[in-house]
Amino acid sequence: MRPDLNLAHVLVALEECRSLKGAAGSLGVSESTVRNALAMLRLQVGDPLFTARDGVLYPTRQGADLARRLRPAIKAVAAALVPVVAVPQLSGQYVTAI
C-alpha cells in the first residue's frame, strides 16, 4: 500500500496544535477532514494516537513517537521539492530558490 503523506501532515499538526480545530487551521482544511484523517491513521497504526482531556489532545506514546519520526521526514520531502535554479552571475553555481 502506498503511504498517504497527507496523513503524516495531519498527525504532526495534531501533535503540535493539540486540537482538531488548531490542526485544521494550520493545514488549511476543515475539522472534519482532520477527524477523518485521524480515523484512517488510527486504523492503519492500530493505536488511538491521541486521547482527549479537557478539550486538549494528548498523544499516546505511539502517537508521539510517530510524530517525532515523521516531522524530519516531512521537512526533508519539502526541502527536496524546492526548485534549484541556476543564477548566471554566480558563474555556474546553483542556489535554492526561496
What percentage of the chain reaches a pLDDT higher than 90?
72
What residue type is assigned to position 9 of the chain?
H
**Residues whose CB is less than 8 angstroms from the CB of residue 63 and which lie 6 or more positions away in sequence, other chains included:** 11, 15, 47, 48, 49, 50
Quick: pLDDT tens for 7-21: 999 999 999 999 999
Grid coordinates of 73: 521526514
| pTM reported for the whole predicted model | 0.81
Mean pLDDT of 30-41: 97
Which tens digit of pLDDT belongs to each residue from 64-88?
999 999 999 999 988 888 876 655 6
Flag whether pLDDT at 95 surpasses 90. no
Kindly list the structural domains of the chain, giving each domain's residue range(s) and its CATH number in brackets, ordered by start: 5-96 (1.10.10.10)
Burial 5-37 (b: 16+ CB within 10 A, else e): eebbbbbbbbbebbbbebbbebbebeeebbeeb
